[in-house]
Amino acid sequence: MLSLGRNDRRKSTAIYIEEREFTMERKTARVSKEPEVRRQEILDTAMKVFMEKGYEAATMRDIAAAMHVVPGLCYRYFESKQMLYDTAIEQYVKDITHPMIERLKEKDDSLDGFLDKMEQLFIQTDGKEKYHHFFHKKENHDLQMLMSVKLCETIEPYMEEKLREMNENGITRVGNIPLTASYMLFGAVPVLENDGLSTAEKALGIRMIMKCILEA
């Protein structure tokens, strides 16, 4: 029996890899999905891989393998792993801030009514946002703090508008609205980051901070 030379073996390996990827490409092509559905699938899978392997160690090939597709499909929707990560952060921020922003747009008749609804909203949504477990891993503590700042900055203009509205309706008498809104939001960060507190304890702590600031 003739043995293959080194160059022949390399060619055979290359052909095998090409055929394997071509086969995977054909299988992927048969599963047609809407672009937004596929994009979200890649994003969700990426976050699972980041959770298991860590962001630095994970590769686009790992993400593709977890989806049983070729890497080219992932690159079709996301130019890089960093772009995937940045998109996940944007979605995480939106998941947290959207319910809060919608709540701040509602009308209130009293300070206690406003605080009651804010407290209940926190209890209903805390820890339920997508990718919560990844961003709250102990090794991601620094990232978690940066995320808290980003969340506060996103909500801040809506909180300012709420304070103006409550001032106009005689519910509060806030002097420096931008500064007060900043105190209310950033002052709550240490409570939010305290893993020793339950959701109910955090909600109550945030309520107390807001009440003290608004009644000062």
Question: What pLDDT is attached to residue 19?
Answer: 46
Number of domains observed in the structure of the chain = 2
Whether 211 and 163 share a structural domain: yes
Let me know if residue 95 belongs to a domain: yes
Let me know if residue 192 belongs to a domain: yes
Let me know if residue 1 belongs to a domain: no
Query: Mean pLDDT, to the nearest integer, of 123-137?
Result: 80
Query: Mean pLDDT, to the nearest integer, of 3-18?
Result: 51
Query: Mean pLDDT, to the nearest integer, of 54-63?
Result: 91
Quote the tokens at residue 22. 């071509």
SS (H, E, C) the chain: CCCCCHHHHHHHHHHHHHHHHHHHHHHHHHCCCCHHHHHHHHHHHHHHHHHHHCCCCCCHHHHHHHHCCCHHHHHHHCCCHHHHHHHHHHHHHHHHHHHHHHHHCCCCCCHHHHHHHHHHHHHHHCCCCCCHHHHCCHHHHHHHHHHHHHHHHHHHHHHHHHHHHHHHCCCCCCCCHHHHHHHHHHCCHHHHCCCCCCHHHHHHHHHHHHHHHHHC
CATH number of the structural domain spanning residue 193: 1.10.357
CATH number of the structural domain spanning residue 34: 1.10.10.60
SS (H, E, C) 36-80: HHHHHHHHHHHHHHHHHHCCCCCCHHHHHHHHCCCHHHHHHHCCC
Q: What are 66-116's pLDDT values in tens digits?
A: 999 999 999 999 999 999 988 988 888 888 899 999 999 999 999 999 999
Whether 64 and 108 share a structural domain: no
Domain boundary among 49, 79, 109: 79
Whether 98 and 202 share a structural domain: yes
163 confidence band (pLDDT: 50, 70, 90): very high
Domain boundary among 47, 79, 111: 79
Range of the domain at 65: 7-79
Q: Which is higher by pLDDT, 64 or 144? A: 64
Whether 136 and 201 share a structural domain: yes
Domain boundary among 56, 79, 102: 79
Whether 45 and 22 share a structural domain: yes
Query: Mean pLDDT, to the nearest integer, of 129-140?
Result: 76
Q: Which is higher by pLDDT, 101 or 21? A: 101
Query: Mean pLDDT, to the nearest integer, of 184-201?
Result: 89
Q: Which is higher by pLDDT, 157 or 126? A: 157
Let me know if residue 206 belongs to a domain: yes
Query: Mean pLDDT, to the nearest integer, of 14-42?
Result: 63
Listed range (32-46, 132-146, 185-199) with the worst mean pLDDT: 132-146
Query: Mean pLDDT, to the nearest integer, of 50-70?
Result: 91
Global confidence as pTM: 0.71
Question: What pLDDT is attached to residue 130?
Answer: 78
Let me know if residue 2 belongs to a domain: no
Whether 193 and 106 share a structural domain: yes
Percent of the chain with pLDDT over 70: 85
> What mean pLDDT value characterizes the chain?
84
| pLDDT for 28 beyond 80 | no
